[in-house]
Structure 1
Amino acid sequence: MAGLGDIVQKAFYLGVGLATTAGEQAGETLSSLGVQAQKLADEMVAKGEITTEEARKLVDDMVKSAQQQNLGQAPSSTTERAQKTTEPRRIEIVSDSEAPSSPSQSPEHISDMRKQVEALQEELKRMKNS
């Protein structure tokens, strides 16, 4: 039994080691991405394609996007996330008293569909009893 305990302990330590290594590699990747993004932004500023403020925003957005993807989240701006949490989801309510918008929603059509459903339910009951 002592051998089994040692194996479990070693497996646990292996898992912790792998998780730590993966975390370190992700951090290194994110920092190198930040450096590369900064170099790209500096080149674009030097060429006059964007302003320094736009470059700073571009680098920040790229790093945030990479961090969110690394965490398994879909990239979105902070304003979109704030909007999603503060605003309730909109739901459209359609009342039964409204006129049918198409012929397929007419009372006769609905009545026919109900009859078909009832017939199918009865057929299903017969098939279950057989």
Structure 2
Amino acid sequence: MKTTLFSVRIIMLRDLVQKAVYLGVGIASYAAETANSNIKELGNHAQKLVDTLVERGEMNAEEARRYVDELIREAQGEAIAHGEGENKQPRRIEIITDEEEANPDPLAQKTPAQSQTEDVEALRRQVAALQAELQRLNRQP
């Protein structure tokens, strides 16, 4: 009975984690879409404003084009700075274990590729250990 209850709890935990990941991806996607639509709206409003200024003679066509381009560029830069919009590089998430906190080595400088390779290997080892533990628990009477 213990094994079954434990298995059910693991499945429930896995489903909860999966739903949390999906929620995070959905929120990020929604934020990106909202930011893009807001930037487009800003561009449309700015274009209407400069069209009016050009008609009045307060601004020439070249100045108007540069103004709108600069405004859009600034808005896109702010969206990326706040984690929205298209970002070419994924955000790096660093997981610090208790061992690393106890023995920080400021002299050990690693390249991002080395750190990423080591992180991937550490995660693979953790997954293998968890799978072995799960199999061991499933085999117990």
Superposition TM-score tier, normalisation by shorter sequence: 0.5 to 0.7
Work out the CA distance in 2 between the residues paired with 1:69 and 1:3. Answer: 39
Higher relative contact order (CA 8 A, sep 6+): 2
Indicate the residue corresponding to 1:32 in structure 2: 41
- Superposed displacement of residue 13, structure 1: 0.3
- TM-score by structure 2 length? 0.51
Structure showing greater radius of gyration is: 1
* Structure 1, unaligned runs of 5 or more: 74-130
Indicate the residue corresponding to 1:48 in structure 2: 57
Equivalent position amino acid for 2:61 in 1: T
* Structure 2, unaligned runs of 5 or more: 1-9, 83-141
In structure 1, which of residues 13, 24, 35 is the aligned counterpart of residue 22 of structure 2? Answer: 13
Indicate the residue corresponding to 1:68 in structure 2: 77
Aligned length: 73
- TM-score by structure 1 length? 0.55
- Alignment RMSD (CA, Å): 1.0
Indicate the residue corresponding to 2:94 in structure 1: none
Structure 1 ranges of 4+ moved more than 3 A: none
The answer as to 2:16 corresponding to 1:4 is: no
Between the two proteins, what is the percent identity of the paired residues? 45
